[in-house]
Structure 1
Amino acid sequence: MLPAMFVCLGLVAPAATAATVKGYEIDAPSSLQVVVNKHRKLNPQNYVPSRLARIQGESLRAEAADAYKKFASAAKKAGVTIVPVSGYRSYNQQASLYNNYVLQYGQETADTLAARPGHSEHQTGLAMDIGNPGGTCALDPCFENTPAGKWAAEHADDYGFIIRYPKGAEATTGYTYEPWHLRYVGTSLVGDMNDGGFRTLEDFFGLGAAPDYL
């Protein structure tokens, strides 16, 4: 119920961030559909997933790990080898990575390349950066033209992954194009996004753009 002052004035009270949108839980860090960006940090900020599974030296949430293994296995059968580059990162690991970027490039540029600690999808255990065996175009936009990059663009959604930071969506996501950054959201959400022509979680859930930190 709205407070009386809003009813009398005919105004709508500003809504708090909804926990469930379009049937998906987007606030709880344990949700497979949690939305993390520059406007939405993890709560608690030092969240650690309860179940992590190892994949060639990297880790993912168990559900995401199972999907990733199927994704990589299918690629292998098609003659494409995909290697995991960076999966789960703790709050402290993300802080170290981010601070190194700041030292190298300055904070403004660093904010387009890596998330600040507490704002990283990698901390959820649902994101995996992928690469080619020889390191071709590693963590570079040209990755999209490599065998692994092409396979991901064409088939990641079959396994419940999206390319979280797509080309042309920089003003929405706040990050440069990352064809190597896969985010597990589940096949149900992928299907809903594809059906509606949505490329980002921000657009699908109507959260608005998050180009800069609040």
Structure 2
Amino acid sequence: MDKDYTILINSKNPLPADFIPKHLIDTGLPFDAIPGDPKRLLEEKTAHAALELTARSRMEGLSLYCISGYRSYIRQKELYTGNNYVAAPGTSEHQSGLALDLSCPAVHMELTEAFAETQEGLWLKKHAPLYGFIIRYPENKTHITGFPWEPWHIRYVTRPLASYLTLTGLTLEEYHMMENSVDFLDLK
């Protein structure tokens, strides 16, 4: 499994301030942002998977829109307010280019828990793993992830891992704890 896509980014595992992902691209995803805005960028494989995901949603008559992709360390620093919904600079997955926030017109393109009950939110939860994405901050896992439920925030982790995490109900933190336990046991 490609470790670049399984990287754990959180308050205990921050990215360096100067980290910029290789191969950031804009694939023309349906964004609620003007062309040229850096938040339209994603890491290349992530961008192509997101394009497939949104194209499929459009074929099914849904209006799924991208709200925010890549964010630099500096931009995250500007947004950081100390509340639970905005990660501190260096601890945001958006800096990796692997994360994407989505919404829809039914909730006025807001990033809100109400998104989970929209046709788009229900569809995303069911279909995201088929394209290599997980709902990164699931309901009832705040004590593990450190973030409240964010049904709009998806993270690219590859199709095999997304399927595994979705089927088992594990978060990325739990997966890494399990992987580290296995590595520790293998050392004996």
What TM-score comes out, normalization by structure 1 length?
0.74
Task: Determine which structure has the larger helix proportion and give its number.
Answer: 2
Q: Give the counterpart of 2:9 among 24, 36, 39.
A: 36
**Structure with larger Rg:** 1
Is it true that 1:204 corresponds to 2:175 in the alignment? yes
Q: How many Å apart are 1:70 and its aligned residue? A: 0.5
Q: Distance in 2 between matches of 1:133 and 1:153?
A: 17
Moved over 6 A (4+): none
Paired residues of 2:8 and 2:176 also in contact (CA < 8 A):
no
CA contact under 8 A between 1:88 and 1:125: conserved in structure 2? yes
How far residue 40 of structure 1 moved from its aligned partner, in angstroms, is: 0.7
The 5 A counterparts of 1:1-214 are 25=3, 31-42=4-15, 44-54=16-26, 55=29, 56=31, 57=35, 58-98=40-80, 101=81, 107=82, 110=83, 112-133=84-105, 135-136=107-108, 138-195=110-167, 197-206=168-177
Q: Which amino acid aligns with 2:100?
A: M
Provide the C-alpha distance between the structure 2 equivalents of 1:123 and 1:172, rounded to a whole number of angstroms: 21
Shift of 1:204: 1.4
SS at match of 2:87: coil
What code does the residue aligned with 1:76 have? R
Instruction: Compute the RMSD of aligned alpha carbons.
Output: 1.8
Query: Do the aligned partners of 1:140 and 1:178 also contact (CA within 8 Å) in 2?
Result: yes
Report % sequence identity: 35
SS in 2 for 1:152: helix
Structure 1 stretches lacking a partner, 5+ long: 1-22, 26-30, 102-106, 208-214
Aligned equivalents of 2:143, 2:123: Cα separation in 1: 26
One-letter code aligned to 1:69: L
- Structure 2 unmatched ranges of 5 or more: 179-188
Aligned residues: 169
Partner AA of 2:7 in structure 1:
V
